[in-house]
Amino acid sequence: MFKRFLAKNTIALSVSATLLIAQQTHAQVVESRVNFSAEPASQADIVKAKVLIIDDIICSGNKDTDCEFILKKYYQTIGDVLDPNEVADAQLRLGTLFQLTDTNVYLEKGEQRDHVIVVFAVQEANNIQYEVSSGFQFSDFNENDYVYDCIGYSADYQRHYYQESPTGITDTRQIDSEYKDCDTQADLSSFYVTSKVTDFNFLGTGKELSFFLSYNDFERDVDSRVNTLTTNEYYSSDNYTFEQSTESYSNSHSQQHDTKVIGLRYFDPHLFGSAHYYLDSSLNYYSVETDVGADPDNNNLTAFDIALGYRFGRHSYFTLATSQLIGYEIPSDGTDYFNVPDRYSFSYGWNTENDALFPSQGEDFSVKAIFNRDIPESDSDELVVSYQKHTGLSADNIITLGAQTSLKQQDVFDKDNADKSALAEVSLRFSRNNIISKVSGVYSHWFIGVNLGVIYQDDVDVSSYQTRISEYIHEDNSKTITNDTTGRHYFRDNEANYFAGLQAGYTYQTQSVIYRFTLGYNQQDFD
């Protein structure tokens, strides 16, 4: 499902896009109906038995993968009463792993009547997998008074000059103000290419270690029509002047941001040997070259991401995550080229999808609270709820319905002034999975999808003023007092803004290589 957001800083959009390429969801717990193959216990014996006791749980077919890793997907132990639902969950959990191409569960007779041995027979895949991904995204924005270079505001400057001297008192006041609004058409385009190599069975333990390189080229072309109203007033004891002027002009410019990323990622599905805890971590180095019509700027940062999760029940999970910048300080000129905050998040969800790459059935639900901190005057809190359901029209054709809603509050200047917004989005996607060669593990997948949504933004009416007072005592004990006040007043009326998107993609997978390509177009109007 297309993830749409307002990016006040285009660098942040480039960085976020490359982050999304490398991330995957690993809190999957899936469900389907298990077909027991009666080897050597007959199917009739299994059906007749009312209670089956587990004598042992073993693996077969695993040459490179520890049996302990496989059995951690099965939440029963020796001595338990066999639960077919638990067996079904375990088989499909194993079915989502890249380490295995096939999983079968069957029962053998135990040493006593109504006692069984649970056997997990697996077929291992190539543990080393290569991935090459590329894509292009184009967005068209019609903007009024809010986004990018079109922020409605009024700027004020006031000076009160007071002087006492033997010749008398001078008392003057000067007031200058400027009002600006504008209409803008912005075209955004983004192209990315990523290469990644992953060991899905690091040291034979089922842990994952990935190394990836990514390049993202982001361009923004803006055409603006700006309207300004300037007012100048001057007061003194014997004089008053008032001047007012208007100006309208067009402004066009382009921005380009090239982002290169080198990343290392480690995923432990069974942290501390537990079947329920998992750890996902990554270390990423970003290099961004920015060209806004002047000399290009080169900026670098390193980010460390870590997430600790806990699986519980049949399909549910909790996750605590944080993203921290390492060794990055905002330049002395105050320009934060990245605008990437320290991020903290907490999420709950459940996942019953039956495949990590090409799900054909199941659901995915999540609730996520996100807290962005340490952006000057722009801390934000966000709550995101998302859901999608996959329904198989046939063995190869799938319909996916999705929905997402979010609430966001972002500080403007300080915590007493907040910009509030709400988003609601629905999506529909049609997918087709093709099995080219199941024996060789060759598959293809293509999809086409649409999304529609609305963003509601609350009123913004924020002022920021600074006052500087200076007093000077002269040799003749006369004094001069100067009071300067400068400020800006930002405003926006509440409004509902609509957006729509179209996406398509194709994936080709062999046992050792995955090729992906995606296309997207988004249209957004700010009324």
**What tokens appear for 135 in the block?**
């894509």
At 10 the pLDDT is: 34
Whole-angstrom Cα distance, residue 130 to residue 513? 5
Residue tagged 């970003």 (tokens): 286
Residues belonging to the chain: 527
Listed in sequence order, the residues at least 6 apart from 241 whose beta carbon sits closer than 8 Å to its beta carbon are 232, 233, 234
DSSP conformational letter for 82: P
**What tokens appear for 389 in the block?**
């359901």
In this prediction, the residues of the chain whose per-residue pLDDT falls under 70 are 1-50, 142-155, 165-166, 182, 204, 292-296, 327-341, 374-378, 412-418, 438-440, 459-464, 488-494, 526-527
Q: Which of 441, 294, 277 is nearest to 358 (CA)?
A: 441
State whether residue 95 is helix, strand or coil: helix
Determine how β-strand 414-437 pairs with β-strand 442-457. Answer: antiparallel
Q: Which of 317, 311, 252 is nearest to 276 (CA)?
A: 311
Whole-angstrom Cα distance, residue 12 to residue 77? 48
pLDDT in tens, 422-475: 999 999 999 998 887 766 678 899 999 999 999 887 766 666 677 888 887 877
State whether residue 92 is helix, strand or coil: helix
Whole-angstrom Cα distance, residue 187 to residue 222? 7
Determine how β-strand 115-124 pairs with β-strand 53-60. Answer: parallel
> CB atoms < 10 A from the CB of 218, how many?
25
Cβ contact 208:198 at 8 Å = yes
**What tokens appear for 230 in the block?**
């300037």
φ, ψ of residue 116 in degrees (nearest 5): -135, 160
Burial environment of residue 272 by CB neighbours within 10 A (0 to 12, 13 to 18, 19 or more)? exposed
Cβ contact 403:387 at 8 Å = yes
Whole-angstrom Cα distance, residue 88 to residue 51? 17
At 135 the pLDDT is: 96
Burial environment of residue 134 by CB neighbours within 10 A (0 to 12, 13 to 18, 19 or more)? middle
Whole-angstrom Cα distance, residue 508 to residue 227? 52
Whole-angstrom Cα distance, residue 230 to residue 203? 70
Give the C-alpha distances (Å, rounded to integers) separating 197 from 130, 207, 307, 440, 460.
Answer: 4, 14, 21, 20, 47
Whole-angstrom Cα distance, residue 359 to residue 431? 10
Residue-by-residue DSSP string for 406-470: EEEEEEESEEEEEEEEEEEEEEEEEEEEEEEETTTTEEEEEEEEEEEEEEEE--EEEEEEEEEEE
- Helix, strand, coil % in the chain, rounded to nearest 5: 5, 65, 25
Quick one: how far is CA 157 from the chain centroid? 41
Q: Which of 78, 92, 84 is nearest to 31 (CA)?
A: 92
At 436 the pLDDT is: 79
**What tokens appear for 410 in the block?**
């972002």
pTM of the model: 0.70
Query: CA torsion sign, 49 to 51 to 57 to 59?
Result: positive
Q: Which of 30, 34, 91, 100 is nearest to 353 (CA)?
A: 30
Cβ contact 110:96 at 8 Å = no
For the chain, state the CA radius of gyration.
31
Beta bridge partners of 60: 121
Burial environment of residue 292 by CB neighbours within 10 A (0 to 12, 13 to 18, 19 or more)? middle
Determine how β-strand 442-457 pairs with β-strand 239-268. Answer: unpaired
Determine how β-strand 100-109 pairs with β-strand 37-38. Answer: parallel
